[in-house]
Amino acid sequence: MLKEIEMLVQGYEAFRDSYFNGDNGLYEKLVAEGQKPKILMIACSDSRVDPAIVLGCQPGDLFVVRNVANLVPPCEESDQGYHGTSAALEFGIKALKIKHVVLFGHTRCGGIQSLFEVTQKNKERLSFIEKWMEIARPAFEKVQQQHIHSSLEDKMTTCEQYSLLHSLENLMSFDWIREKVEAKQLFLHAWHFDIQTGLISAHDSHINVFKPLVQETLQALHAKT
């Protein structure tokens, strides 16, 4: 068997031993009661930023959407095209009644990086990524205008954070999200994970800065609720 697949089988066997062969009981509960995740997480497809691993979650804790660069598209007509992220938002918020949406961005994001690269030569091969990354273009343009003298790395980090804020705005373009947020029945969060240092910072909407997660979470949540 291929080594790569063998690794998965070993992982699966350990997982099965933990959750199904002992008296763990978690899946018994999740099957009997159905899933009741408290957090809807939108994270990047990047293999280094699995939110369940980074945030120490168990099966049933997170309802997760992962896509290139953890983007939320604006609300568009549902009969035009296919809207995977919007469908997951709809199910998580309307059917599962999740009250917290966390956008989970990260440093060294390849999707964001692609905005800074001249992709002309790869145009055909990366056409899906280019089209998808148009969602983050306003963030890219803001960085190019306002941070013209920053290093490329700093520009990309800032763009990742601006893109998170832009996705927050796009979340509010869905009527059924905006109404719940305004009624304080739904709370939106933008977190940014630095994969070099391990630091997660969270956007504080009161002062419009990203602050270390531990402080933000408790203070901002108390202020909002």
Rg (CA), the chain: 19
Cβ(65)–Cβ(37) below 8 Å:
no
Distance of CA 21 to the CA centre of its chain: 32
Residue number, 109 or 133, with CB nearest to Zn ion: 109
Residue 70 CB, nearest distance to Zn ion (Å)? Answer: 6
Residue 141 CB, nearest distance to Zn ion (Å)? Answer: 19
Nearest-10 crossing angle of helices 152-171, 137-146: 140
- By CB under 5 A, residue 164 contacts Zn ion: no
Q: Which of residues 31-50 bind Zn ion (CB under 5 A)?
A: 44, 46
Which one-letter DSSP state was computed for residue 6? H
Residue 39 β-bridge partners: 62, 100
Residue number, 93 or 133, with CB nearest to Zn ion: 133
Q: Which tokens sit at 157?
A: 């980090």
Residue number, 166 or 180, with CB nearest to Zn ion: 166
Residue number, 139 or 220, with CB nearest to Zn ion: 139
| Nearest-angstrom CA–CA distance, 2 and 88 | 33
Cβ(165)–Cβ(190) below 8 Å:
yes
How many other CB atoms are there within 10 angstroms of residue 40's CB atom? 23
Residue 73 CB, nearest distance to Zn ion (Å)? Answer: 16
Residue 103 CB, nearest distance to Zn ion (Å)? Answer: 12
One residue of 75, 109, 115, 135 binding Zn ion per CB under 5 A: 109
Residue 136 CB, nearest distance to Zn ion (Å)? Answer: 11
Site string for Zn ion, 43-82 (x = CB under 5 A): -x-x------------------------------------
- By CB under 5 A, residue 202 contacts Zn ion: no
- By CB under 5 A, residue 139 contacts Zn ion: no
DSSP string, 21-32: SSS--HHHHHHH
Chain contacts with Zn ion (rule: CB under 5 A): 44, 46, 109
